[in-house]
Amino acid sequence: MSERNRKTSIANNSSVAIVGAGPGDPELLTLKALRRIQKAEVIVYDRLVSRAIISFAKPSAELIYCGKAPGKHAMTQEEINSTMIQYAHAGKNIVRLKGGDPLIFGRGGEEALALAEVGIPYTIIPGITSAIGASASASIPLTHRGIAASFACITGSRCQDSNKPIRWDLLAHSVDTLAIYMGVSQLHDIQQELLQAGKPHVTPIAFIEQGTTSNERIVTGVLGEMSKLAEAKKLTNPALIIIGEVVLVRDQLQYAMKQALKLQQIG
């Protein structure tokens, strides 16, 4: 058997799943994702995958960290792709584990294409993305009747990309709620772009730091003071930024919950 045919045969016996680990809380992991993690022989995992989720792996599983922090990457994207292909050729049961959803700012599509190009089948298992999980945990609905009928998920890390700039001028008025990932390092630029596009200075904003986890922290304010507020509160990654009137619904929901708890105690 030729080397090429041998590798194809081995790859056909392997299993590769690109899995979303959700926004942080291990209880928000899907059952399908959990089953694949528990069966995996090799887990290639990102920085935002919690230790609690990694603990679901079987003791014999090989754990490979490939996290990317700002300015510090454990592996390049090409090395990640190569690692998955190498283990697939060895016939291993592989899970590529990503925070949130693998196809929302997670490069899951790129990795799927890399596998497909060398004839390796894959499965994609969705996860709860941060915009949905963190905002719900913070009692901020991304849509709310009479207030917001649309939302957009945006990556703030592309702010300085002159080749494909983010059209903040269009987003400022065409979408009711903005959910911005990876925007902490670009807060000043985001703020200025939206204000210059005519977004009101008093537009409500919220930072959700480490959303859905035990270390979750929520800071609210207004767009015109956004970057100063983040600096004063020493905001750190990972943090989701929500911009829109829906942020004000948080106070209503918290008040309603307190009232409900009081009635329950009385009853």
Q: Residue 83's closest CA among 47, 117, 115?
A: 115
Quick one: tokens of 128? 């709860």
To the query of whether residue 182 is one of the catalytic residues in this protein, the response is yes
CB-based burial label for 115 (10 Å; 0-12, 13-18, 19+): buried
Q: Residue 20's closest CA among 130, 180, 150?
A: 130
Per the omega criterion (within 30 degrees of 0), is the bond before 238 cis?
yes
To the query of whether residue 68 is one of the catalytic residues in this protein, the response is yes
For tokens 């009137």, name the residue. 245
Could you say which DSSP state residue 34 is in? H
Choose, from 98, 182, 199, 226, the residue flagged as catalytic: 182
Q: How far apart are CA 229 and CA 74, in angstroms?
A: 31
Q: How far apart are CA 180 and CA 131, in angstroms?
A: 8
To the query of whether residue 46 is one of the catalytic residues in this protein, the response is yes
Choose, from 68, 75, 169, 189, the residue flagged as catalytic: 68
Residue 24, phi then psi, degrees to nearest 5: 145, -50
Q: How far apart are CA 112 and CA 237, in angstroms?
A: 27
Choose, from 7, 25, 46, 92, the residue flagged as catalytic: 46
Name every residue whose Cβ is closer than 8 Å to that of residue 233 and which is 6 or more positions away in sequence: 207, 219
Residues classed as catalytic? 46, 68, 182
